[in-house]
Structure 1
Amino acid sequence: MEKPLYDVIIGNIEGAREPENPNLKWSPVCIQSSVQEAPEEQIADTNYAAVETRSQKRNRERPIKPLEVVIKSSDLDVTPEEMVKAQQSDDTLSKLWKLAETGVVKEYTKGSKTRFITVKGLLYREYIKSLASTSDQINQMVLPTQFREKVLEIGHEGIMAGHLGVKKTLDRIQTNFYWPGIEGDVRRFCASCDVCQRTFPKGRVTRVALGSMPLIDTPFKRVAVDLVGPLQPMTARGNRYILTLVDFATRYPEAVALPRIDTERVAEALLDIFSRIGVPEEILSDLGSQFTSSIMKEVGRLLSIKQLNTTPYHPQCNGLVERFNGTLKRMLRKMCSERPADWDRYLPALLFAYREAPQESLGFAPFELLYGRMLRGPLTILKEVWSGEKIEEEVKSTYQYVMELRDRLEATCELARNELLKSAKRYKKSFDVRSKDRKFKVGDMVLILLPTDSNKLLMQWKGPFEVIKKIGLSDYRLLVNGNEKTFHANLLKLYVPRVKPVRQNGKSPEVGGAVIKVKVINEDTSESDFANVDLVSLEQVESVDDVMMSSERNQGENLECSKVLRRYSDIFTDLPGYTTLVQHKINLTTDDPIRSRAYPIPLATQDIVKREIDAMLKLNVIEKSESPYASPIVLVEKPDGSIRFCVDFRKLNNVTVFDPEPNPNPEDLMTKLGTAKFYSRLDLTKGYWQIPVVEEDRPKTAFITSHGLFQFKVLPFGMVNAPAVFTRMMRKLLDGQENVINYIDDILIFTNTWEEHMTTLKSVLHRLRESGLTARPSKCFLGATSIDFLGHIIGDGLMKPQPDKVKKIWGVQRPRTKKEVRSFIGLANYYRKFIPNFAAIAAPLTDLTKSRGPKQVEWGEAQQNAFDTLKLRLSSSPILHLPDAQKTFIQRTDASDVGVGAVLLQSDGEHMCIP
């Protein structure tokens, strides 16, 4: 046999008998064969045997289970006749039927077109992707309300959908279907998908900003403890663990090797350490049973030690000792590589090495901070041996020594404190680059970012669980399976429940759910070509469903706000309204008509001008004119690459009688916000276009194009008195309304209670409806505790710079001309209230803008320092408190050779003055 072992085990031996029928007369015979058979012949003569277990047979005969599907086929049994009836009876499609009758074609800047058509009684949206060919034509069936949820489920949760993101789901559905507000519906459906939320990548959940630990000035007032191990191999003394302790003030470490980590042994080791360093006032530890047991609590009670614990799965809270543990293990790994079983004997030497080295955050060694001098170590001894010199200290009295030691320790600790403050700011700035201020409210449902299974294919996040209390700045107490547990915000993710409409008598109710804005981190939710609108829209694209509401509100508040929105849904549209509050009148200083030649328009943009003019004609914004006046048009490219249609009214403005109606002062508006807790922002749709121009003055607004002369019927953008007229209208609109301010077309509602907020919101919306004004849904934001207003983040009684604006300032390159210097100073000047001594810091830059200097500025070290300092001050996240009119104001001033400064302060109730 070529492979005797295999053949014997399997039973491939020619002439072998069955076990129950042995040959009793058999005796072993050794035969030496002189003929070697080929391997192929040996294999051909063998018989193979195999065994199938009962479990394998049972699994093989078990029938395959059918895969789970989202919707039953019976739910989709709809005939074309039933679909036609559903389309005709759906109120949300009434405008689309009218567009299909008129045959209006909607054009986009990228050359695509859409229109609504009927085929065999069914309503379709015809989409032509390219003007060059009709091969990319898509007919999208317009869905009634009752079938939209089924299509969303099939397009996102179906067995062949794969739970893809918003954009891919939207593109898939729009290949066959369309309905008004489809993008918002898809975004909300995907955001509220239970499976997607439970399997969302943990790395894409934005962490909150880094918190600050209190600075401890007294050595061993607060210490951090932890356990390391089990370590392999076990030492000759039987040790497998290390108890570590680090002082918060001096970073002085202690470490004790232990054979076991039962509570009694850990308590004895701590008492052994306390006998050398003294009993601390506070001990910070994790939630290990050794530190939370009743025995350890009794030890803390007897020694008057306050026990502090980190939140579960958040070791960053005890980062001081965790970092020391990592350093200690690396040192042990390198030192005991030859004798690993003696790692516990290396601990004293390694502790000396760590205590002797200066700490990066403090700038001093733990030995120096604790004893007020550097200890004599191996390198000091080596220097003495090689140099033959030994520094003899001056003989002092006990009193002199104690006083000098005290002074030296105070100076050293003060320097270390300053260094620690600098390093903490540096670490926080670096950490907060990718962080976001995420807050949860009591009653919110959240997921805990802890896996339910070790298998990556089956892993999901735990929850959802209810938030029952907020603790500190970033910790929250949850009700988990009937027990209260505390978690850090970085371990939590807001869970968005899906609110399904309840049908009564076959009809949808007035309120179908809450309108919630959910931001998906790193998810591509940009609009596809199907809904890309760059210039004037001829039909309503946005509706009340596009109004954003803060995710901080609970479900009850969401529903209450949604009812208000539905009640006033007619004013939420992206089409401008028409008000009768005011009319725009143009008074000129001369009767001579103002005429200008038309500016040359590139051939590539003439189609854009034509489409914009046609759109404004259909919106009744402009009309054809025979006026003697003529102003030229210009096309301005916006930052997103789209085109803005503008009229150059500069010559007309020069002869216009100025309207002195004052615009609101942003600083005065901020002082009214005080300590409000709820904010809502409304943005009017193309605000100027909602104000009519008196008929006799319309010829003065005429503009000239290659397609003819046209004039405005409503207030155009670019006229010198447009802000004053609009401000006058807003004052009439909001006259007598409390807790409401506005700046041009931005309306801000601010209140201290939610009930008062809803009442004020209803009142404002009622005034808008009565005045014939409309609000842009996508720019309205309701029910927030912090909000972006006039380039500032307002909330919790604080005011911060808008992060995007600060990022823009930070990205400014070094100015090279006077114009660039003025632009940078103007940009930074908007946030000058956040920068102490702004005038003094910016003085070197301001000097460059003097009229006598050259256009190309001379840039030196002083200018570079001023430039860098201004950007650095803004990037350090400065914060101001909103003034409280009920408290006393304190003014502090200062002056220097280059500037005068002042700051307004108020007491915070704790004997501190805050700016």
Structure 2
Amino acid sequence: MLSRLIAARRDANGDERVIASTQTNSPSLSDDDEPDLSAAAVEYVFQANIDQLPVVADEIAACTAKDETLSQVLQHCRTHWPKEAASSPLSAFFVHRSKLSEVQGCLLFGDRVIIPAELRQRILKALHFTHPGMVRMKSLARQFVYWPRITTDIERWVRNCPDCASAAKAPPKVPLRPWPSAGAVYERLHMDFAGPCSDGFKYLVVVDAHSKWPEVIKMNATSAPFLITQLTWLFSRYGFPKEIVSDNGPPFKSSELSHFCRSRGIKQTFSPPFHPQSNGQAERFVDILKRQLKKCARDDKEWVQNSLLAYRSTPSEVLRGRTPAELFLGRPIRTVLSLVKPGSGVQKGGKVHQDRDRMCRQFDRRHGTQQRPFNIGDRVLFLNYRQNKRMWLPGEVVEGSGVVWKVWAQDLRATVTRHSNQMRLSQPIPYQERPEQQQIPRTPSPERQPSPIQEEPPQHQATPRKVRFEANLPQDTNRRNSRRSDVRHVNGSRCNG
């Protein structure tokens, strides 16, 4: 509406210029013409905008007169714009000269007040007072103020705000980086704890990466010695794996288990803290076990054994129509359903990696993933988990590759391990002291590998996630009494001595 009230005139050079200053004489009017309302309209809009700003008109006018650039713009608005202004520092105003006007010694761009450089920080602080976010802050600024590159200044101000950074949403997930396909049975095992259940026990879940063959072991305790005892029984049946993958729970990070694995040539790999997706094979079966508990435990006292038998004998799309038992044992196992059609053929062949690629494409499409590479020395914000609260903290990348990185956190005075989905690049925050060089261990950046798991244990440990089950497993009366122990291995099959 303001543009329809402001009168446009042409100066001596033929340039169109807005005349809205209260000091400008209105052109002569005929008896039939209405009074010139342009100056009054601009005066009204100017005063309305000034009332919303943390500065007054007199202060803006004084700073405009002292500003080297705006003082020249003000002079040209009162007289005319020379052609050479198009290539001078005034070019940003020259291209919009038809929209410029003057009211009480202040410059207006349309109905927005042009703020001198001396007052811009105060205006930005006022616009960001309630931390409205980058988009809303821009919309608010467009109602009242203007200066060249105001959008860039607003974006920089929001990025450098520690409060906004700590409360920001998580960035888009990085593309899925699946585990390399295991070439043989028992080459890589994924482990995790489930429970405690309603019977007071926890269960150790072990899944073979190649065949998806699951093992469920009831645990009387989760101490490192007890865990080693159960793994010894498990390995006595199937042999030692090449690698075991687990979270950062105390039993898995213990020195006893580390010595046990080293002495048997077993490589330990740990998932990033608070990122169960990196150990998804075990986490997925824990979820299956929880669902089976809800559905079967009430009517079936042997729900664990029966669930394992059904899972091991069910064809899987991931295994190209084969069962875990066929890949793990080299043969189909006999169940009650085998009596219906004995000697049924077994599908062979297939390429597991095709299903893995399809899974990656589905994940990337569903989550809208984006490549977000990081480099050694990048300033980032990472998610910190303290007292059941997630908070973004600043840090610097000091080591890592792929999607797992080590970040030096000045606020924590420690180096933490994070997944790329738990990090995002950050602009430098004003007045934040950078960590001393001697406190940050710097190592050459290794060649990026496809593995999504950091092999070295991070300094911050995560307690194992506890999932409550409600089930009562009766003692197996068919077991031989001569070999009864405090803990029994639940695998759905009898071990041959």
TM-score range, shorter chain: 0.5 to 0.7
Q: Which residue of 2 is the match for residue 142 of structure 1?
A: 114
Deviations 1:549-576 (Å, cap 9, x if unpaired)?
Answer: xxxxx9xxxxxxxxxxxxxxxxxxxxxx
Task: Note if contact 1:286-1:318 (Cα within 8 Å) is conserved in structure 2.
Answer: yes
Distance 1:452 1:264 in 2: 29
Task: Note if contact 1:163-1:196 (Cα within 8 Å) is conserved in structure 2.
Answer: yes
Q: Which residue of 2 is the match for residue 280 of structure 1?
A: 241
Residue 79 of structure 1: CA displacement?
6.7
Out of 325, 337, 353, the position equivalent to 1:379 is 337
Out of 378, 381, 397, the position equivalent to 1:444 is 378
Task: Note if contact 2:207-2:281 (Cα within 8 Å) is conserved in structure 1.
Answer: yes
Q: Which residue of 1 is the match for residue 33 of structure 2?
A: none
Out of 366, 380, 391, the position equivalent to 1:461 is 391
Closer, same or farther in 2 for the Cα pair 1:79/1:285, shift >3 Å?
closer
Distance 2:57 2:339 in 1: 97
Q: Which residue of 2 is the match for residue 226 of structure 1?
A: 192
Q: Which residue of 2 is the match for residue 209 of structure 1?
A: 175
Task: Note if contact 1:103-1:115 (Cα within 8 Å) is conserved in structure 2.
Answer: no
1:427 aligns with 2:395: no
Out of 97, 117, 138, the position equivalent to 1:170 is 138
Q: Which residue of 1 is the match for residue 437 of structure 2?
A: none
Task: Note if contact 1:451-1:462 (Cα within 8 Å) is conserved in structure 2.
Answer: no
Distance 1:291 1:453 in 2: 23
Residue 92 of structure 1: CA displacement?
4.0
Matches within 5 A, 1:490-569: 490-499=421-430
Task: Note if contact 1:103-1:117 (Cα within 8 Å) is conserved in structure 2.
Answer: no
Q: Which residue of 2 is the match for residue 489 of structure 1?
A: 420
Closer, same or farther in 2 for the Cα pair 1:124/1:241, shift >3 Å?
same
Task: Note if contact 1:355-1:367 (Cα within 8 Å) is conserved in structure 2.
Answer: yes
Q: Which residue of 2 is the match for residue 353 of structure 1?
A: 310
Closer, same or farther in 2 for the Cα pair 1:376/1:174, shift >3 Å?
closer
Q: Give the partner amino acid of 2:373.
A: K
Q: Give the partner amino acid of 1:258.
A: M
Q: Give the partner amino acid of 1:373.
A: R
Q: When the two structures are superposed, what TM-score results if normalisation uses the length of structure 1?
A: 0.37
Where 1:243 maps in the other structure, the secondary structure is: strand
Closer, same or farther in 2 for the Cα pair 1:350/1:81, shift >3 Å?
closer
Distance 2:373 2:331 in 1: 46
Deviations 1:99-134 (Å, cap 9, x if unpaired)?
Answer: 523578xxxxxxx99621222222222x2xxxxxxx
Closer, same or farther in 2 for the Cα pair 1:223/1:175, shift >3 Å?
same
Where 1:124 maps in the other structure, the secondary structure is: strand
Where 1:175 maps in the other structure, the secondary structure is: helix
Task: Note if contact 1:100-1:115 (Cα within 8 Å) is conserved in structure 2.
Answer: no
Out of 79, 89, 92, the position equivalent to 2:66 is 89
Where 2:381 maps in the other structure, the secondary structure is: strand
Task: Note if contact 2:176-2:363 (Cα within 8 Å) is conserved in structure 1.
Answer: yes
Residue 297 of structure 1: CA displacement?
0.7
Distance 2:164 2:121 in 1: 17
Residue 350 of structure 1: CA displacement?
1.6
Distance 2:79 2:177 in 1: 61
Q: Give the partner amino acid of 1:166.
A: M
Task: Note if contact 2:203-2:218 (Cα within 8 Å) is conserved in structure 1.
Answer: yes
Residue 499 of structure 1: CA displacement?
4.7
1:124 aligns with 2:105: no
Distance 2:328 2:385 in 1: 44
Distance 1:255 1:102 in 2: 88
Task: Note if contact 1:189-1:498 (Cα within 8 Å) is conserved in structure 2.
Answer: no
Distance 1:95 1:460 in 2: 51
Q: Which residue of 2 is the match for residue 194 of structure 1?
A: 162
Distance 1:77 1:152 in 2: 10
Residue 95 of structure 1: CA displacement?
6.0
Task: Note if contact 2:159-2:426 (Cα within 8 Å) is conserved in structure 1.
Answer: no
Residue 248 of structure 1: CA displacement?
1.1
> Structure 1 stretches of 5 or more lacking a match?
1-75, 105-111, 128-137, 385-389, 394-407, 501-553, 555-795, 797-915
Q: Give the partner amino acid of 2:244.
A: I
Alignment root-mean-square deviation, CA: 2.9
Closer, same or farther in 2 for the Cα pair 1:253/1:77, shift >3 Å?
closer
Where 1:477 maps in the other structure, the secondary structure is: strand
Q: Which residue of 2 is the match for residue 245 of structure 1?
A: 206
Q: Give the partner amino acid of 1:213.
A: W
Closer, same or farther in 2 for the Cα pair 1:452/1:258, shift >3 Å?
closer
Residue 167 of structure 1: CA displacement?
3.2
Q: Give the partner amino acid of 1:368.
A: E
Query: How many equivalent pairs are there?
Result: 363
Q: Which residue of 1 is the match for residue 405 of structure 2?
A: 476
Deviations 1:766-810 (Å, cap 9, x if unpaired)?
Answer: xxxxxxxxxxxxxxxxxxxxxxxxxxxxxx9xxxxxxxxxxxxxx
Distance 1:296 1:99 in 2: 80
Out of 317, 328, 334, the position equivalent to 1:370 is 328
Residue 88 of structure 1: CA displacement?
2.6
Residue 196 of structure 1: CA displacement?
1.3
Distance 2:364 2:270 in 1: 24
Distance 2:298 2:69 in 1: 76
Task: Note if contact 2:191-2:207 (Cα within 8 Å) is conserved in structure 1.
Answer: yes
> Among the aligned pairs, what percent are the same residue?
28
Task: Note if contact 1:448-1:464 (Cα within 8 Å) is conserved in structure 2.
Answer: yes
Distance 2:127 2:363 in 1: 39
Deviations 1:391-419 (Å, cap 9, x if unpaired)?
Answer: 9x9xxxxxxxxxxxxxx9xx94xx24x1x
Residue 254 of structure 1: CA displacement?
0.8
Matches within 5 A, 1:631-780: none
Q: Which runs of 4+ in 1 moved over 4 A?
A: 76-82, 451-454
Where 2:408 maps in the other structure, the secondary structure is: strand
